[in-house]
């Protein structure tokens, strides 16, 4: 009986030991399963990070360069209007700012003295002309000498010249516009005396204007490569207007700038006035052998040099490459004169977080019809 109880007790003890081992095994297995994902994540984190990048294709730059400068509209032709005779001003028919047509009467001087001079000259001419007609008839009949005939003809010529002079002076008492334009700076009023040649007013030609612009030496030295010119910003006008180069000053001013003068046809331009500020665009030929164009954000600086990240299409790896930047294109792109080839891909976003040889994933461009990239 005792033996039976002893064996039973031993079996119970063995059973308890086996249960403990099973429980420990289950606990350790569960802990391992809990730790496995964490280990897996750590392994992924420590591996190479694949970054998504936005790229742009290297394009061939335009062979036509553009430079913009501030300019100023000036009157292309402004003349001083003056009487060719002196006297008191009898009437003024215009005021400052008036537009006048070619030949329009602007002002006139009192004609009293000049009318008297004309009447005297005309009377003398009438008398002498009658005498010379009689002498000419006698000379035809050979009734007078050749000397008397020539003397009479000389007398007629003299009074004829005096009459023409008196007629011109009488006509010169009226001041007419030599061309169409705007009256500016009238300096006299009715009743005031004015001398010969004194400017009565100024007349601005409105058929065309000129645009003056000062450019730096590098642009001026490219003058032989200039192709075309335009200006914009006239008043509230958004349009571009063609310009023609008229002249250039080959001596720099105190700011080391060279002046260019352009002709602007003002026909159809509303609101144009002398003194207005405009933007002048100069287009000139590019002499670079093989310029490329890329977005400005693709370029970054490292130790004083310019670089870009070039994406290798077959392996999707980025490589750091030095480039030589010429200038901004004015459309958000920069001109590259060395370091890139056409159709290569360069990274345009996140350039400061990449490393040489890093693997990347190129983000597909958003369709033009998918506004905001929502689809």
pLDDT tens column, 73-111? 988 778 899 999 999 999 999 999 899 999 999 999 999
pLDDT at position 31, please?
44
- Using alpha carbons, select from 86, 84, 81 the residue that is nearest to residue 194: 86
Same domain, 144 and 163: yes
What's the gap between Cα 132 and its chain centre? 70
Count of structural domains within the chain: 3
pLDDT value for 338 = 84
> How far apart (Å, rounded) are the C-alpha atoms in residues 12 and 18?
10
- 220 and 72 in one domain? yes
pLDDT of residue 30: 47
Number of neighbours of residue 15 by Cβ within 10 angstroms: 10
Residues of the domain holding 133: 111-172
Cα–Cα dist 90/111, whole Å: 8
Nearest CA-CA partner of 201 in 272, 110, 95? 95
Co-location of 71 and 217 in the same domain: yes
Give the pLDDT confidence score for residue 164 in this predicted structure: 96
- Residue 7, in any domain of the structure: no
172, 194, 223 — which closes off a domain? 172
- Say if residue 10's pLDDT is above 50: no
Q: Average pLDDT in the 269-298 region?
A: 84
Q: Alpha-carbon distance 25 to 197, whole Å?
A: 123
DSSP-based three-state secondary structure for 122: helix
Residue 144 belongs to a domain with what CATH number? Answer: 1.10.287.470
Do 213 and 239 fall into the same domain?
A: yes
Lookup: tokens for 31? 């802990």
Are residues 276 and 209 part of one domain?
yes
| pLDDT value at residue 339 | 87
228 and 293 both lie in a single domain: no
Its sign, for the CA torsion 268, 271, 276, 277, is negative
pLDDT tens by residue, 315-360 = 889 999 999 887 776 567 888 888 888 889 999 988 888 888 899 8
As a whole number of angstroms, the distance between CA 187 and CA 357 comes to 80
Say whether both 213 and 161 belong to one domain: no
Query: Binning pLDDT at 50, 70 and 90, where does residue 154 land?
Result: very high
- CATH number assigned to the domain comprising residue 273: 2.40.30.170
Same domain, 158 and 303: no
Does residue 159 have a pLDDT over 70? yes
């Amino acid at each position: 009986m005792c033996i039976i109880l002893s064996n039973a007790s031993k079996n119970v003890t063995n059973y308890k030991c086996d249960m403990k081992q099973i429980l420990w095994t289950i606990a350790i297995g569960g802990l391992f399963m809990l730790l496995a994902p964490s280990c897996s994540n750590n392994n992924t984190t420590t591996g190479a990070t694949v970054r998504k990048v936005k790229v742009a294709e290297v394009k061939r730059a335009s062979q036509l360069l553009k430079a913009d400068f501030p300019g100023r509209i000036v009157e292309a032709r402004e003349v001083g209007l003056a009487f060719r005779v002196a006297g008191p001003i009898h009437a003024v028919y215009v005021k400052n700012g008036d537009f006048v047509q070619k030949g329009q009467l602007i002002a006139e001087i009192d004609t009293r003295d000049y009318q008297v001079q004309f009447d005297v000259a005309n009377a003398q001419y009438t008398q002498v002309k009658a005498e010379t007609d009689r002498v000419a008839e006698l000379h035809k009949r050979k009734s007078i000498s050749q000397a008397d005939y020539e003397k009479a003809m000389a007398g007629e010529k003299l009074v004829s010249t005096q009459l023409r002079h008196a007629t011109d002076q009488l006509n010169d008492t009226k001041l007419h516009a030599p061309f169409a334009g705007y009256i500016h700076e009238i300096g006299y009023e009715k009743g005031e005396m004015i001398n010969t040649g004194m400017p009565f007013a100024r007349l601005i030609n409105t058929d065309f204007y000129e645009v003056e612009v000062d450019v730096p030496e590098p642009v001026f030295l490219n003058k032989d490569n200039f192709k075309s010119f335009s200006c914009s910003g006239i008043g509230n006008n958004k349009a571009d207007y063609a310009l023609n180069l008229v002249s250039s000053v080959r001596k720099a001013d105190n700011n080391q700038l060279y002046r260019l003068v352009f002709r602007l046809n003002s026909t159809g331009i509303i609101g144009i006035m002398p003194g207005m500020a405009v933007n002048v665009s100069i287009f000139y030929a590019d002499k670079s052998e093989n310029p490329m164009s890329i977005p400005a954000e693709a370029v970054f600086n490292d130790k004083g040099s310019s670089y870009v990240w070039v994406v290798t299409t077959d392996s999707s790896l980025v490589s750091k490459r030095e480039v030589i930047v010429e200038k901004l294109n004015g459309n958000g792109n920069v001109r590259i004169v060395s370091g890139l080839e056409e159709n290569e891909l360069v990274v345009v976003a996140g350039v400061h977080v990449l490393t040489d040889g890093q693997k990347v994933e190129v983000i597909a461009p958003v369709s033009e019809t998918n506004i905001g990239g929502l689809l």
